[in-house]
Structure 1
């Protein structure tokens, strides 16, 4: 290990100073901002493009379902892929696969082409989601990861907070080609991806050299590890079910708000407040979860989502008359608040239930559930809206959150009954 490599490792392990000033972190944050900017624009714009090409609500929902399916499949192989091609190529490839399809959609003329490009974007998004969190874990020791993950989360949320609500307005006022050109912003992140990848790889080599003796420690037998993984997955069912219910709602809102809200300004306001509420709630609930326990916030989070979804259903049904826009905004804020709460507390709870030896299982299960819920929400609500109405779709989402709440409640009571029975 060179003196420069050692110096970088020591500097990053130094607890002094903010995390965004550490070697590699500014480039990682810049790359993340540009990558998620493109994703944020395309989340509502790609379904709009599908409708513009003659697709119905089902095909519009299918766009983000395909995106998330490709994302999930990619997430399962990212770690192995990166061991083959390295950090720099992995991060640059992610930006390339997120940005180029947006430009490709400018000349797309059929729904099938839009779906293929969505799958390509999903591959890029799968790489960037797994690699981004892994990069923070590589650059920072455990005692500094909290603040570093917070800074990374702001880079992710910042792009979505601004661009997800504004993207439909850009498409409506300036035209779809302009919105799609803006969605190519991940291409601007390629130089930052290369710089970040170089710094991460250098630090990983330094840490690997310093801690090479850790590789000689005995590991659990394969059959014991697989058995523990299976037990961990069973324990994770309640928080994963709760997360999936709420991310289904989030996928429906980000995909279809431009279609069930005819006013462009109201669409921008609703999506902005939804995203802002999610960002604030995700940050704010962290301290409360540490103090009082994450499990205490899962049922309230589901209840808040159900109230918000019911409000949206009432607003778009027309039964509340002139109060519809206000009720729609209130519903968007409530669902956004629930979305942010559940992003935080279900992950914390998953780690608690899985145990230290199965943190990888918890992380993988949580990420897959998050993206699967987003995709299923877009697909299922699109199918319901095409066959019935958006009002019925949001009534169904309300019911899903209520049922998930009862399931979590019953799962929480069963261990208590078992404990009482054992004491008798």
Structure 2
């Protein structure tokens, strides 16, 4: 192990410093910001482009569903792919596959072309999402992951905070080509990807050489046995189920707000506050999750999501009358708060229940659930709204969060009774 590797290992395991100042983290955070900037723009703009090319609500929802399907299929092989490709190449490739298709969509003239480019973007997104959370799991010991995930979450949400709300406005006012050009920002992240990948690889070598002082210990074998993977997946179902329910709501909001909110200014405000609330919550819950345990925040997160979704349904239906815009904004804030909270605590919880030997399994399962929920939310709500209304669609999402809450409560009670019986 080189002196540089040893120095990085000692510093990254130092619990005193803030996570964003650790070796490799500044470059990782910068790359993440640019990568998610392009994703943030395309999430509402690509469905808008589909509508502009003649598609209906179902096809508009299909854009992000295809994106997430490609993302999930990619996520299933990222850990193995990176074992032979390396951190630097895989992170740089992710930025290229996110940025180039966005620029290519400027030339798209048919719905099929938009869907094909969405699939390519999904491959890049699958690489960057699994790699980002895996990097946090590898760089930081368990007692620091809540704060580290919070810092990573700020990078994820930073560009989204600005670009998700205003990208529909950019497309309307400046034109679709301008919005798609902005979506090419992941290409700026390539140099940062190379730098971050090098630092993470050095830290992985240091960990493999004999563990980290005061920190994460020896690196886990990336090739867990099939039986270990299966056992880890069984233990992961509660945080994965909770995450999926909330990301269904997030996928519906980011995809269809321009459609169910007719006022452009209100759309910008709602998306901005939703994204801001998610960013603040994901950062703010990190410290308490480390201190009190991430599991304590899962059910409150689901309850907040259900309240927010019910408020949005009431606003869309007009039941709130003149107060509908205020109710809509309140609902967006609540769902955003739940979304950010659950992004943090379910990932921390996934690492906990999977065990240190199966961090790769936890990262992959968490990212698959996150993106599956986003894609299902976009597709299912699009289909339901096309056949009924957006009001009924958001009421269905409300019921989903309530149902998942009761499921987790019952499962938790059964686990507690089993533990008591075993002790007797």
Equivalent positions of 1:342-381 (< 5 A) are 342-381=342-381
Please name the residue that 1:104 is paired with: 104
Please name the residue that 1:75 is paired with: 75
Please name the residue that 1:312 is paired with: 312
Instruction: Return 5+ residue gaps in structure 2 as ranges.
Output: none
TM-score (norm: length of structure 1): 0.89
Instruction: Return 5+ residue gaps in structure 1 as ranges.
Output: none
Q: Looking at CA atoms only, which structure, 1 or 2, has the larger radius of gyration? A: 1
Equivalent residue of 1:76, what SS?
Answer: helix
Q: Structure 1 residues 203-212 or 380-389, which shifts more?
A: 203-212
Q: Distance in 2 between matches of 1:31 and 1:217?
A: 24
Q: Distance in 2 between matches of 1:218 and 1:177?
A: 45
Please name the residue that 1:392 is paired with: 392
**8 Å contact kept, 2:273–2:333:** yes
Please name the residue that 1:124 is paired with: 124
Please name the residue that 1:156 is paired with: 156
Cα deviations across residues 144-164 of structure 1 (Å, max 9, x unaligned)? 655544433221121111211
Q: Distance in 2 between matches of 1:157 and 1:216?
A: 31
Q: Distance in 2 between matches of 1:86 and 1:139?
A: 16
- CA apart distance, 1:329: 0.5
Please name the residue that 2:337 is paired with: 337
Cα deviations across residues 329-372 of structure 1 (Å, max 9, x unaligned)? 01111111111222222233333433444444333322211111
- CA apart distance, 1:254: 0.6
Q: Distance in 2 between matches of 1:266 and 1:38?
A: 23
CA 1:23–1:342 in structure 2 vs 1: closer, same or farther (change >3 Å)? closer
Cα deviations across residues 221-240 of structure 1 (Å, max 9, x unaligned)? 98xx5445434433332322
Please name the residue that 1:38 is paired with: 38
Q: Distance in 1 between matches of 2:328 and 2:366?
A: 29
Q: Distance in 2 between matches of 1:416 and 1:9?
A: 39
How many residue pairs get aligned? The number is 419
Q: Distance in 2 between matches of 1:41 and 1:280?
A: 20
RMSD: 2.9
Please name the residue that 1:285 is paired with: 285
Please name the residue that 1:238 is paired with: 238
Cα deviations across residues 80-106 of structure 1 (Å, max 9, x unaligned)? 222222222212111110001111111
Q: Distance in 2 between matches of 1:141 and 1:420?
A: 31
Q: Distance in 2 between matches of 1:5 and 1:129?
A: 25
**8 Å contact kept, 1:172–1:264:** no
Q: Distance in 2 between matches of 1:309 and 1:319?
A: 14
Q: Structure 1 residues 267-276 or 236-245, which shifts more?
A: 236-245
Q: Distance in 2 between matches of 1:296 and 1:50?
A: 41
Please name the residue that 1:170 is paired with: 170
TM-score (norm: length of structure 2): 0.89
Q: Distance in 1 between matches of 2:127 and 2:95?
A: 9
